[in-house]
């Protein structure tokens, strides 16, 4: 059972350093419930007193019931008392129903302003009237839905995912606009407030549907977001205006009521800005569902598939202990389909014993790079590519939930080359980089998504590696990966360090969706290596200033730097800043991958794959 190598307290008082990955995942679920509570009970009560639902209650009403298809009923049901029954309810169902993106955005940030749970907005992919949509809902319980810097980045990220997969966008608007104390970090740049409106216009030009529902206040520049959408709904009691009554009076001396300035009746009957005026949240969401039900449905290409190996086996296979090894092909067996589905003992010749008689043990097949046999019989639907070459990276063609895809994964056990040279697990060598580049190019030829599974300390260094052309080979892999025209789905199971992160499709390389296990680490290098380098630099700087560095001072400097670097490598730190979309429970990895592949069903594969000049 793998242990997590860090030390900090998380939900339920669990100590990270002594927790198993399963315990850590359970503890993170507790923390996530606190994030989903938004501004807390008092803020929720104030929202209800205005006759409005919270962002998550609105989503619960909007989303299809789990397992629902086209025309299926909403989560909260119809009827005048739906708002009462929904109060306090969170969206139900697993990743099949609602894949929330960026839940940890803003975690640990903005403490001087009281924090901003979830960055004050809920984003994710869910089914509405049988259609997968990108849903973006301001959380008015968090600073009245004001835009923090991470709010902008989170919405822009959701728009990017929707553009790539051509997902219809639904905006549930309830926001006070820019959070003024941080306006300099919200207003001007390419990843700030204005970019959202630019994306609205571009998305519309791409022919991707956008529907906005104003269900509270929509003021100042924020008013452009819903008006730049194709269809606009508004509830009675809401407000849409560039300047509120108080600002209008201060600016031009005019006294005007909320309703005359920007109420639903005015915009429906006088300005003509909105398309549908609705009585309340429940009626508005019913209208949204009706309108979305009249768009074409993107037919899923997944055929379901049967799970090859129980998801819970990941806790026995995987280890993140220092120096521990595991075979990533065993891990892949927990994610991919079983060959042919159905009875595990009826695939390709019957029982495990029969397979052994025909071709040896599962280990024998794995060593030869063949299709992986499962412990309970049958085979994993994974065809390993160049299984005897460049073995520190495992590549192969697979089916996950019926979806054809490629997999590129770091191997975490020691292997030997055909020449007998030993290669360390988790390290990318020149031959494995060459193989990875060639495989990525082939996946683009096939037009299939690629799943990158990270557990790497980076590229191999040293004289032999440099003379073998590691930089050239690494550049080739980065080039092929960067120019992909297929969806790139990322799963970080362990370490994701330095240039290894880049080559395995880091955040800078147009990931479609990125997932991470709770024990994951992401940084330029491991904490121990980085701390040693940084400590030497800091001590050298102090010595030049005349300070004497004794053993006690060395330990203090080393400890402070190590703690800081470890905190920054924590995957929650990355998720808080939008570098990871979802922290997931390891045993649910398969369903998360299926949901990501399903979300990419509308991907435009018509673009030509080109790499330009590439090192050979």
Range with lowest mean pLDDT among 303-307, 379-383, 450-454: 303-307
495-514 pLDDT tens trace:
999 999 999 999 999 999 99
Q: How many CB atoms lie within 10 A of CB 45?
A: 11
Residue given tokens 């362990």 in the structure block: 494
- Judged by DSSP in three states, 605 sits in coil
Q: What DSSP string runs through 371-388?
A: PPBPTTSSBBSEEEESTT
Q: How far apart (Å, rounded) are the C-alpha atoms in residues 226 and 232? A: 6
Please tell me the predicted confidence (pLDDT) of residue 113.
96
Phi-psi region of 433 (alpha: psi -120 to 50; beta: other; left: phi over 0): alpha
420-443 pLDDT tens trace:
999 999 999 999 999 999 999 999
Give the homologous superfamily in CATH for domain 43-292.
Answer: 2-enoyl-CoA Hydratase; Chain A, domain 1 (3.90.226.10)
Residue given tokens 């970090």 in the structure block: 185
Range with lowest mean pLDDT among 93-97, 144-148, 253-257: 93-97
Residue given tokens 């970080």 in the structure block: 492
State the average pLDDT over residues 569-590.
97
State the average pLDDT over residues 470-475.
95
The answer on pLDDT for 80 being more than 60 is: no
Cα 551 to the center of its chain, rounded Å: 44
61 CB-side CA count, 13 A: 30
The answer on pLDDT for 76 being more than 70 is: no
What are residue 400's DSSP bridge partners? 403
Tell which residue, 506, 500, 498, 462, has the closest CA to residue 482: 506
Max CA pair span of the chain: 91
Please tell me the predicted confidence (pLDDT) of residue 43.
97
What are the residue ranges of CATH 3.90.226.10 in the chain? 43-292, 308-337+380-517+584-616
Going from the C-alpha of 600 to that of each of 57, 298, 449, 594, the distances in angstroms are 26, 10, 9, 10
Mean pLDDT, all residues of the chain: 88
Q: How far apart (Å, rounded) are the C-alpha atoms in residues 613 and 450? A: 22
- The residue count for the chain: 616
Please tell me the predicted confidence (pLDDT) of residue 205.
97
Range list of β-strands (E), 140-270: 169-175, 210-219, 231-235, 239-241
Q: Is residue 409 very low, low, confident or very high in pLDDT (cuts 50, 70, 90)? A: very high
Sign of torsion, CA 260 262 266 271? positive
Which segment, 194-198, 307-311, 371-375, is predicted with the most confidence on average?
Answer: 194-198
Please tell me the predicted confidence (pLDDT) of residue 118.
98
Please tell me the predicted confidence (pLDDT) of residue 594.
96
The answer on pLDDT for 120 being more than 90 is: yes
- Report percent pLDDT > 90 for the chain: 71
Q: How far apart (Å, rounded) are the C-alpha atoms in residues 285 and 236? A: 13
State the average pLDDT over residues 27-53.
96
Q: What DSSP string runs through 256-293?
A: --HHHHH-HHHHHHTS---SEEESSHHHHHHHHHHHHT
Q: How far apart (Å, rounded) are the C-alpha atoms in residues 353 and 360? A: 9
No. of H helices and E strands in the chain? Answer: 24, 20
State the average pLDDT over residues 74-98.
56
Please tell me the predicted confidence (pLDDT) of residue 98.
94
The answer on pLDDT for 208 being more than 50 is: yes
Give the homologous superfamily in CATH for domain 308-337+380-517+584-616.
Answer: 2-enoyl-CoA Hydratase; Chain A, domain 1 (3.90.226.10)
Q: pTM of the entire structure?
A: 0.89
């Amino acid at each position: 059972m793998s242990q997590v190598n860090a030390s900090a307290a998380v939900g339920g008082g669990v100590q990270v350093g002594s927790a198993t990955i399963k315990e850590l995942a359970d503890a993170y679920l507790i923390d996530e419930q606190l994030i989903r509570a938004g501004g807390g009970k008092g803020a929720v009560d104030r929202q209800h007193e205005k006759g409005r639902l919270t962002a998550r209650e609105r989503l619960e009403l909007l989303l299809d019931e789990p397992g629902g298809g086209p025309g299926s009923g909403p989560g909260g049901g119809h009827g005048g008392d739906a708002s009462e029954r929904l109060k306090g309810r969170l969206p139900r169902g697993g990743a099949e129903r609602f894949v929330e993106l960026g839940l940890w955005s803003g975690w640990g940030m903005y403490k001087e302003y009281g924090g901003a749970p979830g960055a004050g907005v809920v984003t994710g992919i869910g089914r509405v009237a049988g259609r997968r949509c990108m849903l973006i809902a301001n959380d008015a319980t968090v600073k009245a839905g004001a835009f923090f810097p991470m709010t902008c980045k989170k919405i822009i990220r959701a728009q990017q995912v929707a553009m790539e997969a051509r997902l219809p966008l639904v905006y549930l608007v309830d926001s006070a606009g820019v959070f003024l104390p941080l306006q300099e970090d919200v207003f001007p740049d390419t990843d700030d407030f204005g970019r959202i409106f630019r994306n609205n216009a571009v998305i519309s030009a791409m022919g991707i549907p956008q529907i906005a529902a104003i269900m509270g206040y929509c003021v100042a520049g924020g008013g452009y977001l819903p008006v730049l959408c194709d269809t606009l709904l508004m509830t009675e009691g809401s407000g849409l205006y560039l300047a509120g009554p108080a600002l209008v009076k201060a600016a031009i001396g005019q006294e005007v009521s909320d309703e005359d300035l920007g109420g639903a009746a005015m915009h429906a009957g006088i300005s003509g800005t909105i398309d549908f005026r609705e009585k309340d949240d429940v009626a508005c969401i019913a209208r949204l569902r009706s309108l979305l039900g009249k768009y074409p449905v993107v037919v899923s290409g997944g055929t379901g598939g049967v799970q090859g190996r129980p998801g819970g086996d990941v806790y026995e296979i995987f280890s993140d202990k220092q120096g521990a090894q595991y075979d990533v092909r065993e891990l892949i067996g927990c994610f991919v389909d079983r060959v042919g589905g159905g009875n595990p003992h009826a695939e390709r010749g019957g029982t495990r014993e029969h397979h052994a008689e025909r071709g040896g043990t599962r280990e024998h097949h794995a060593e030869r790079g063949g299709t992986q046999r499962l412990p309970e019989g049958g085979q994993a639907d994974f065809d390993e590519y160049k299984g005897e070459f460049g073995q520190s990276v495992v590549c192969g063609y697979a089916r996950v939930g019926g979806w054809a895809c490629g997999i590129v994964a770091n191997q975490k056990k020691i292997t030997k080359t055909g020449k007998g040279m030993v290669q360390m697990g988790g390290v990318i060598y020149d031959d494995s980089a060459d193989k990875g580049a060639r495989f990525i190019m082939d996946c683009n030829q096939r037009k299939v998504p690629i799943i990158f599974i990270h557990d790497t300390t980076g590229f191999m260094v040293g004289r032999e590696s440099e003379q073998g052309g590691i930089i050239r080979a690494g550049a080739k892999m980065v080039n092929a990966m960067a120019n992909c025209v297929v969806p790139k789905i990322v799963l970080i199971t362990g370490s994701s360090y330095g240039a290894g992160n880049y080559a395995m499709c880091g955040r800078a390389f147009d990931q479609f969706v990125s997932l991470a296990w709770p024990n994951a680490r992401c940084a330029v290098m491991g904490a121990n290596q980085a701390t040693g380098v940084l400590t030497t630099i800091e001590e050298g700087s102090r010595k030049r200033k005349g300070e004497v560095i004794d053993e006690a001072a060395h330990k203090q400097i080393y400890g402070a730097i190590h703690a800081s670097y470890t905190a920054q490598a924590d995957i929650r730190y990355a998720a808080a800043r939008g570098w990871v979309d979802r922290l997931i429970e390891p045993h649910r990895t398969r369903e998360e991958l299926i949901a990501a592949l399903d979300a990419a069903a509308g991907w435009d594969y018509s673009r030509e794959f080109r790499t330009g000049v590439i090192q050979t």
